[in-house]
Amino acid sequence: MASLVRWDPVREVATLRDVMDRLMAEAFAPIVERTSLESFALIPRVDMYETDDEIVVKAVMPGVKPEDLDITITGNVLSIKGEVKEEKEEEDVNYIRKERIYGTFRRDLTLPVEVDVDKAKAEFENGILILHLPKVEAAKPKRLEIKTK
């Protein structure tokens, strides 16, 4: 036999809040656990834009040497991994301030279209990594001609 339960709007809001709290905790907990504020500062900032023929990614990499970078594309995910190495500490020096951060970083970016990895190019100039990722033919926009009668 079914029993009637009185509707309680406060309980419904609390349930919604619990669901939202769990959603936010699950979404951001992995980031917080694996990323301290120091390693967060190492993650390169990027600009990504699209032209008719390619995707261009520009990433700021201060203090990173090109040989310390590893760039891979798997499916539609671009991964940029690298390391900022600590310089040899000077002996017999009293540091007044030491704020530079050293360590490894990784940045994964989802590409909006499929790219031709074999024709991709990477340049490194003045601490900026520039990637030119040509689109595959199927991903390039096609113009459709309209015929009039």
Residue pLDDT, tens place only, 44-102: 899 999 998 999 999 998 888 899 999 999 989 999 999 888 877 777 888 888 777 78
Q: Do 65 and 127 meet the contact criterion of CB atoms below 8 Å apart?
A: no
| CATH code matching the domain that covers 43-88+100-139, chosen among 3.20.20.140, 3.40.50.150, 2.60.40.790, 2.130.10.10 | 2.60.40.790
Give the residue extent of every domain in the chain: 43-88+100-139
Q: Would you say residue 22 has pLDDT above 90?
A: no
Band (pLDDT 50/70/90 cuts) for residue 43 is confident
Q: Where are the beta strands (DSSP E) in 9-127?
A: 46-50, 54-60, 69-74, 77-84, 103-110, 121-125
Give the sign of the dihedral formed by CA 29, CA 34, CA 38, CA 40. negative
Structure tokens at 25: 């905790």
Residue pLDDT, tens place only, 130-147: 999 999 988 677 778 888
Angstrom distance (rounded) from CA 80 to CA 130: 12
